[in-house]
Amino acid sequence: MASHFEDEDPTIKECANCGSTENLGKCSRCHSAWFCGVKCQKAYWPFHREWCKKNDFADAIEKTEPKFAKWMRKHGKQAVVKDDEVDRLERKTATMEDMYGKSNPKPLPPAYTSEDRRKMRSAEEKHLL
């Protein structure tokens, strides 16, 4: 039984907890770990929890491209951007609206009380002396 991060033979399927090779089922969340039953899955959960993530993109393409979905799960990829999409993103210049959702964001003025201003002034005077 290999750990999650080790290279393993993809044709060998075994329970992540006990190593059994019979009556296996995939983890319903990440689809990358195999378990022989609920008992083993619950026993192994504290170790599996760290890297068990639902992958909506892989779930969506599972029926049409199962090998690609499996690759995405194995390598922890959440989405893939095609070359033409990368080119479009690189050509686009970022605008303030893109970054902040407004056409001209202005910072809020400082909201210092008179006591805060007095303390800042005295600290600055001490620093200068």
Question: What's the confidence (pLDDT) of residue 116?
Answer: 92
Query: Comparing 90 with 57, which gets the higher pLDDT?
Result: 57
Is the pLDDT at 29 greater than 90, yes or no? no
**What is the pTM for the complete model shown?**
0.47
Please give the radius of gyration of the chain, using alpha carbons only, rounded to the nearest integer: 27
For the chain, give the mean pLDDT: 76
CB 45 within 8 A of CB 23: no
